[in-house]
Each structure stands twice: as C-alpha cells, then as structure tokens.
Amino acid sequence: MAAILALDVGGTKIAAGLVEPDGSLTYVATLPTRADQGTEVVWAVVAELLENALERAGGRVAAVGIGSAGPIDVNAGTVSPVNIAGWRGFALRDRVAAAVPGVPVRLGGDGVCMALGEYRHGAGRGTRSMLGMVVSTGVGGGLVVDGAPLHGRTGNAGHVGHVIVDPDGERCRCGGRGCVETIASGPAMVRWALANGWTPEASSADAKALAAAADAGDPVALRAFRRGTDALAVMITSVAAVCDLDLVVIGGGVAKSGALLFDPLRTALAERAGLDFLVGLQVVPAELGGDAGLVGAAVLATLV
C-alpha cells in the first residue's frame, strides 16, 4: 500500500512527510515558512516540499493529509493562519489537490491533527475520548471524542488555549480576555515571573531558563509554574466536564519540563475534580513529539 503524504503547516516552519499505515514516518523534510513574505512565496515552500516528498514516494501516494495552523475553514478548504500574514482565505486544499492530482486531500486544524496522531499511534492508544494539547509559546489543542476527531462548524474546535479561566484577566492576543494562554504559555509564565521579582541568571529569560530556576528551587519560578498549571487544571476540568474524557495528552516545549508541569497539574486536577467522571482523569506526556502533527494529518487522510 502506498504511503500517505502529510503536511504540517505552521507559522515558522512547514513539514512534509511520508507516513506508513502503521504510523511510521519514512521521510520528513522541513523548510522555513517565510511567513513574512507574500502569498505565493509561502505556497512555493509547500510546492517544493510536495514535489520532493512525491519524488521520494516514487510518484505515488494513497492520499494527502494537511494539518494547518488556524483559523481554517474545512468546508471551503481555506486557511488563514494568524502567523502567515499573506494567507487569508488561502485555498490550500485545492492548491494541494492540483499539485497531487487523483488522490483524496483532507484538511484539518493542527491541534486536531496532533490529537489524532497521539490518539492512533501515540500516548492515546486505546482511549475513546481524549484532549491532545501543546503547551509552548501558546496553548493549543484538539479533541477526539467517541473515537472521531472533533472539527466543529469550521474546523476550529479544540482551541483550548482560549478557554477563559479568569474573566477579568489579561487581554489575550485573540482579542478576548483571561484565556488560559495568557497565564500558562511559556512566555506568559516568564512574563509573570519577571514582574514578580525573578532575576534570571542566564541572559535569556525564556521558559527553559524559568524551568531550570524552578528545578533549582527558585520560589518565584515555582510560583509561576504553579500559577500556570493551576490555570491549565481549570481549563482541563472544564473541557473534561463537557466532553467526558478518558485522557489528556500534553506535548510542546513547556511539557518537556516533565514533573515540574505534571506533578502540580495532577494535584490541581485532583483538587478541582468534583463530578465522579472527572475523578482520576489521566494526564500524560505526548509520545510523538514534533511528529504528531504529520502522523495525525495522515490519520485524518485515511478517515472516511
């Protein structure tokens, strides 16, 4: 059986891969998005990746799956990623279909694809309803409910980073206020720590340095993580109450800090869970790392 060609479109890089039915990646290539340039410059990056992947596949693939940063419109097949200014209502699905004719082309949000990848081939194997999420420079995610990806009306379901956890909180870059992303993303935790007296030793005050400081026992850094994980717990409890989840899988740069994130998160979840079906909700690290989006896009391409 021919491999599936998967695309993962992000604001800083675009990846293409060949994915076998068992979820293994036999080929991956990545190029910078060139997001600050025009519509066709970014498309040329995709076209080059498609051409190279097709050549590697011997000119034949079974289907194409695309995961894209949002907002997207799965019905129209268009994407308008926040961080790719030149793509507004860009007809990505049709352009890819024209470049790879004769096979099905499916488009989904990058969060949904990450969740699908982990659900089928990663930490979510064996579950039925899970939230897959990424905590890094933002907070993103996607849902698989009753064994199927949850797309919603336009394909943007699962934007859990914009669940409101503090109605009077800070303004979010989405235009809303008090979204979990304004508290729990890496930059948000760093910002709070700096404003509350954290003095980083290294010249770079980033989430990695904050994690190192917390590991070394810095009280402000620890409080920043505690504050972030508590906000995440509020969001996760709310989403789990709506969707009756088996599992939450967390990936991304901040999740790499391991116990620093997961221990307080599990404690906060245990404290907040009231309803029977929320008690004991499992939260685990992602297994597929940066490949989850590609693997999940390939899974999406195989769904009817």
For Zn ion, the binding residues (CB under 5 A) are 162, 172, 174, 176, 179
Minimum gap (Å) between residue 82 Cβ and Zn ion: 11
Nearer to Zn ion, 48 or 166 (CB): 166
Distance CA 210, CA 207 (A): 5
Minimum gap (Å) between residue 171 Cβ and Zn ion: 9
Cβ-contact 68, 153 below 8 angstroms: no
Hey, is 140 helix, strand or coil? Answer: strand
Query: What is the β-pairing status of strands 130-135 and 139-145?
Result: antiparallel
Nearer to Zn ion, 114 or 179 (CB): 179
Nearer to Zn ion, 3 or 165 (CB): 165
Between helix 219-243 and helix 186-195 the angle, nearest 10°, is 140
Minimum gap (Å) between residue 29 Cβ and Zn ion: 32
Nearer to Zn ion, 5 or 172 (CB): 172
CA torsion, points 287, 13, 9, 88, in degrees to nearest 10? 150
Minimum gap (Å) between residue 164 Cβ and Zn ion: 8
Surface-to-core class of residue 57, CB atoms within 10 Å of its CB (0-12 exposed, 13-18 middle, 19+ buried): middle
Q: How many CA atoms lie within 13 A of 257 on its CB side?
A: 30
Minimum gap (Å) between residue 166 Cβ and Zn ion: 11
Nearer to Zn ion, 131 or 221 (CB): 131
